[in-house]
Amino acid sequence: MAATIAVLSQKGGTGKTTAVRTLTDVFRRLGLRVLAVDLDPQGNLSDYLDVDPDAFPTIGDVLTGRAKPAEAVHDGIIPANLGLAEAELVLGGKMGREMTLKRALSGLKGDYDLVLIDCPPALGLLTVNALVAADYALLSAEAQYFALQGVEQALEVIELARDSLNPGLEWLGVVLNIADMRTRHSREAFDSLREHFGEKLIDTTIRASIAYAESAERAVSIIDYRPDLGADYLNVADELLRRLRLDQARGRLAAMVNGASATAGVEAEA
C-alpha cells in the first residue's frame, strides 16, 4: 500500500512543484512505483511532466464525481487544469468535501509504492483534501525572511487536519528551497528553522539556480540537465527514504550515486 505524501507551503513559489516533479523522477529511477497527483488549478506539475494539455479526465473531474480515479491516471500522473478551480467550488457545497481526494485515491494506492501530491499555493479546501488523503506532509519553505512564519502557518493547517479528520498524519519534514547559502538571509532562514524545528529541517538545502527554470522549460529533469545541482534532490530523496523507512530503495539510491561518481571518475581519467 502506497505511502502518500502531500507537498505544501503556505506561500506561493517555494519550489513545491519542482520538488514533486524531481522527487517523482528520482524515486522512479529507483524502481519505485510513483503516482504524481497535480492538485493545483495552475497545472504546473502536469506541464512539468509533459502531460498533453487536453488530457481527459483530470483530477477536477474525479473530485466532482464525473470520472473514475483510475481513468484520470495518464502515464503515472493525475493531471490538473483550470477546471479544478471550478471543481473546488462545487466540492465546497458537498457533504464530506474534505474526504473526497482520500476516497478517490484509496482504490489506487495498492498499485503504487508512493503517491506524491502537489498542493496549490493556498491553505484552502484542496490542500485540506491533500492533508486528509496523506500519510505524510512535506513542507517546502523558500529561503526568505518570512520562511519561519510560513512554516508555522502550514503547521497549523496540518494540526487541524490531524485533530479532525486524519489523526495519523505525520509531518515528514521541511526542506529549505531556492536557497543561496552565500547570502545572510538564506543562512538566517536555515538557522531559525533549525532552532524551531530541530531535526525536522532536512539538512540538505535546495540551491537556487536559473537552471531550474531552464530545465522546466525544456521538460528535462534537473537530474539530467544539471547533475551537479540535481545532487541536492538526491540528498533530499535519501533523507526522505530514511524517514519513510524505505531502506531497499535507499540502498539503490546509494548504488546509483556511487555508480554515477565512478563513471564520472572514469570520464575524468579518460
Ligand X SMILES: Nc1ncnc2c1ncn2[C@@H]1O[C@H](COP(=O)(O)OP(=O)(O)OP(=O)(O)O)[C@@H](O)[C@H]1O
Q: Which stretch binds Mg ion (CB under 5 A): 8-16, 146-154, 167-175, 197-205?
A: 8-16
State which of residues 4, 10, 17, 221 lies at the interface with ligand X (CB under 6 A): 17
Residue 212 in contact with ligand X, rule: CB under 6 A: yes
State which of residues 17, 64, 204, 215 lies at the interface with Mg ion (CB under 5 A): 17
Which of 172, 249 has the CB closer to ligand X?
172
| Contact criterion met (CB below 8 Å) for 234 and 260 | no
Q: Kindly state the DSSP code that residue 99 receives in the 8-state scheme.
A: G
CA distances from 174 to 14, 139, 196, 238 (A): 12, 4, 11, 14
In whole angstroms, the minimum distance from the beta carbon of 83 to ligand X comes to: 17
Q: Taking CB under 5 A as the criterion, which residues in 27-56 touch Mg ion?
A: 44
HSE at residue 137, side-chain half, CA atoms within 13 A, is: 30
Which of 15, 230 has the CB closer to Mg ion?
15
Residue 43 interface partner, choices Mg ion, ligand X, none, CB cut-off 5-8 Å depending on type: none
Spatial distance between the Cα atoms of 27 and 250, rounded to a whole number of angstroms = 10
Spatial distance between the Cα atoms of 126 and 119, rounded to a whole number of angstroms = 7
Of 110, 159, 161, the closest CA to residue 134 belongs to 161
Residue 250 in contact with ligand X, rule: CB under 6 A: no
State which of residues 2, 80, 189, 208 lies at the interface with ligand X (CB under 6 A): 208
